[in-house]
Amino acid sequence: MSLAGAADLRKPVVLLLAPSLGAISGVSTHVNVLLGSALVRDFELEHFQVGSEGRVESALGRVARLAFGPFQLAAAILRRGAAVVHVNTSLVPRSYWRDLANVAVAKLCGARVAYQVHGGAAPESFFAHPLLKGFFRATLRLPDVLVVLGTTQLEAYRAFVPGTNIAAIPNGIDFRRPDRSPNANGPLRLLYIGRLAPRKGLGETLAALATARSSGLAARLVIVGAGPEEPLLRQLVNDYGVQDAVTFAGPAFGEEKKKRLADADVLVLASYAEGLPYALLEAMAAGVVPVVTPVGAMADVVQHGVHGIFVPVGDAGAIAAAIHELSCEREKLARMSAACCERVAARYSAERLAEDFGALYRALVGGSAARADAPTRRSRFT
């Protein structure tokens, strides 16, 4: 076979830009799922680390990383002959400016760019100043395709950058049907999984737990994760007098995370803003019923009263009422648990995720990109 023929048989290289694969991050989870999926049959997937998560570095080291990161990316694209650069980002200022440089470098190096937004601000509200808003709108036209997680984001980006190529691809996980024993009589077992950070609703969750217990309800909360909010949360636990009902378990991965999920009845994720949290999908796949806020793409996944309960943002009283309802109606809890498993198996599997991104990557390598208004894209959310 000629060298040209051998080159034609090589799998297209896709660089996945994301934090450390071991970081406590939904984006890291997402990239790990892609790396372990059937995509590797048709594409050479390679992780390229960006961001501070998972790094131990000095202030000078961080400056050096920010200054030289784009050059390192250019070298990686040219060395590997990358056909696609898949930027995984969130609409927060630090990530936006960093990844704008990465998008520009990728385009200059001749790669096609998929720019996936996992969370953060709505595009219309990201910048308030008209000039910055116009600049932001122009930069969103640089990637070959924008990728969002749900219908709310799809509509928001269509309105903000009309005519731009936008694909809606919800997250997916490796689904294994759980073997659960119903908790018919014991204390309701509540679980939180994620970063212990502001705007995750953990303060309201602790207030709700205190309210539920003060009414005589038996409930316990396990908090899985780490982050800057932990000292404040520990203080709130003491202030509310629920020390005997709250466990700070630290981060959990692999089998330990599976055990935490198997030992839980209800996931409480009362975030102020989200994309499509992997914690939600993992919990539902394990039969853990979600009590969540209708933010980001969570409203695409959860049907109120069928798979879980929606509560308003910042409403500790509503969380307490949901805890009370699920504790007192165990048959309803069991029905919701089964419905959660069916929901994830049907629409949020890693196989479906690989299929969607495989189609997207092939379109990019072939010189086009899938349009978000294709019926198959919209049907993912019905």
List pLDDT tens digits, range 210-237.
999 999 999 999 999 999 999 999 999 9
pLDDT at 248: 98
Asked if pLDDT for residue 323 goes beyond 80, the answer is yes
**Mean pLDDT confidence for 113-134:** 95
Identify the bridge partners of residue 199 per DSSP, sorted by sequence position.
Answer: none
pLDDT at 375: 36
**Mean pLDDT confidence for 261-283:** 95
Q: Do the domains 188-347 and 3-173+349-381 match in fold? A: yes
Identify the bridge partners of residue 146 per DSSP, sorted by sequence position.
Answer: 115, 166
What class is the 188-347 domain?
Answer: alpha beta
Report yes or no: 44 and 11 within 8 Å, Cβ to Cβ: yes
The residue among 168, 154, 167, 156 whose CA lies nearest residue 126 is: 156
pLDDT at 270: 97
The C-alpha torsion from 353 through 295 and 286 to 249, rounded to 10°, is 120
Asked if pLDDT for residue 290 goes beyond 50, the answer is yes
Asked if pLDDT for residue 146 goes beyond 60, the answer is yes
3-state SS, residue 309:
strand
Give the span between the Cα atoms of 245 and 239, in whole angstroms: 13
Burial class (CB in 10 A: 0-12, 13-18, 19+), 187: middle
**Mean pLDDT confidence for 9-16:** 92
Report yes or no: 102 and 75 within 8 Å, Cβ to Cβ: no
pLDDT at 362: 97
> Binning pLDDT at 50, 70 and 90, where does residue 4 land?
very low
Give the span between the Cα atoms of 93 and 126, in whole angstroms: 8
Give the span between the Cα atoms of 213 and 244, in whole angstroms: 11
**Mean pLDDT confidence for 120-142:** 95
pLDDT at 367: 72
Asked if pLDDT for residue 8 goes beyond 80, the answer is no
SS (H, E, C) 106-160: HHHCCCEEEEEEEEECCHHHHCCCHHHHHHHHHHCCCCCEEEECCHHHHHHHHHH
Asked if pLDDT for residue 5 goes beyond 60, the answer is no
The per-residue pLDDT for range 42-89, each reduced to its tens digit, is: 999 999 999 877 677 678 877 787 888 899 999 999 999 999 999 999
Q: What are phi and psi of 303, to 5 degrees?
A: -100, 120
Give the span between the Cα atoms of 242 and 212, in whole angstroms: 11
> Binning pLDDT at 50, 70 and 90, where does residue 361 land?
very high
* Domain map (residue ranges) of the chain: 3-173+349-381, 188-347
Report yes or no: 96 and 125 within 8 Å, Cβ to Cβ: no
Report yes or no: 169 and 200 within 8 Å, Cβ to Cβ: no
Asked if pLDDT for residue 186 goes beyond 70, the answer is yes
∠ CA 277-278-284, rounded to 5°: 100
Report the relative pairing of strands 13-18 and 44-49 from DSSP bridges: parallel
The per-residue pLDDT for range 241-261, each reduced to its tens digit, is: 999 999 999 999 889 999 999
- b/e map 167-183, b = 16+ CB within 10 Å: bbbbbbbebeeeebeeb
pLDDT at 54: 66
User: 């899938």: which residue's tokens?
Assistant: 370
Asked if pLDDT for residue 372 goes beyond 50, the answer is no
Report yes or no: 266 and 287 within 8 Å, Cβ to Cβ: no
Give the span between the Cα atoms of 215 and 232, in whole angstroms: 25
Could you give the percent of the chain with pLDDT greater than 90?
82
pLDDT at 380: 46
How high is the mean pLDDT of the chain?
91
**Mean pLDDT confidence for 334-350:** 95
Give the span between the Cα atoms of 269 and 274, in whole angstroms: 10
Give the span between the Cα atoms of 319 and 336, in whole angstroms: 17
What class is the 3-173+349-381 domain?
Answer: alpha beta
pLDDT at 369: 56
**Mean pLDDT confidence for 320-333:** 96
Report yes or no: 287 and 178 within 8 Å, Cβ to Cβ: yes
Give the span between the Cα atoms of 295 and 310, in whole angstroms: 10
pLDDT at 378: 36
pLDDT at 381: 40
pLDDT at 56: 72
**Mean pLDDT confidence for 138-158:** 96
The residue among 131, 127, 139 whose CA lies nearest residue 103 is: 139
